[in-house]
Copies of this chain bind each other. A is one copy, B any other.
């Protein structure tokens, strides 16, 4: 006879603009099973929660029922850990302030916690990835946007209002020619080092020279770091230059981030990191040339060790253990 029920599992939910991935995770960080729901199909958040919970409750049943689950962790754009809310997320269908953690808790009876997607990635990396055991590091996610999760003294840095760590929106160009960012401001890191930033750099360089490039075969809107990489490994000079400029901007910014929190490591995550040395070397060079002498050679530049598909769900799931 069981005297106490072991809570063996948590749920990790990664909410993206297109898909929501729901995963069951065990105490060793194994993703036992995942399922997904199309985020964009639900104009009303109530219908969305209903649809996710229908899927989720089936998974939970298959793993022994709600008593076996310690908590639900959710990673979402513009997620606020303190309030368990998503607030004014530009890429989600629901506007205003959505009390999503509370809604999941009410529907499932399982405690739920929520944070933003980059913070979730940092938590996953700390629990299962390249920064295991580290107490001070910065995770930078290089995707459609540029996000970040900052860990200090072993704790996620949420700040006074829960929105700390928006390093994609520090200004890297204060000149009048600075690029306009999706946030409405000018010169943000995200406008240069995100997927769209790379495409813009490609467009700029291609328009300023007549040099041959494999990238001229593509509509510039379709250029992502993947296409640039494919060209770069064939020796395409313009592709190599795109990565160099992107890496230089990022490396200089990382030098500034280190002056802020003096982390043990900077971990990069996302599509851009697949470019390997084409991007990592310019980042490291710019970092080395621009870092304050007192910090020289101290912070390691790392690439995430989590599989892309797993990272978001794993990261979100770590919140489930504390929920």
Question: Residues of A with Cβ closer than 8 Å to B?
Answer: 78, 87-88, 135-136, 150, 152-153, 155, 157-167, 169-175, 183-185, 252, 255-257, 259-264, 290, 292-295, 298-299
Contact = CB atoms under 8 A, between A and B. Distances in A.
Nearest to A265: B160
Contacts of A252: 171, 174
Given A160-B262, A172-B174, 4 more contacts: A153-B155, A164-B262, A166-B294, A183-B292
Given A175-B175, A298-B161, A150 B260 contact: yes
A321 to B, nearest CB: 20
A183 B162 CA distance: 34
Among A135, A163, A184, A263, find the residue whose CB has the most chain B CB atoms closer than 10 A: A163
A167 B290 contact: no
B169 A292 contact: yes
Contacts of A136: 159-160
Contact of A158 (B175, B262, B294): B262
A164 B290 contact: no
B157 A261 contact: yes
A259 B169 contact: yes
A9 B77 CA distance: 50
Contacts of A150: 260-261
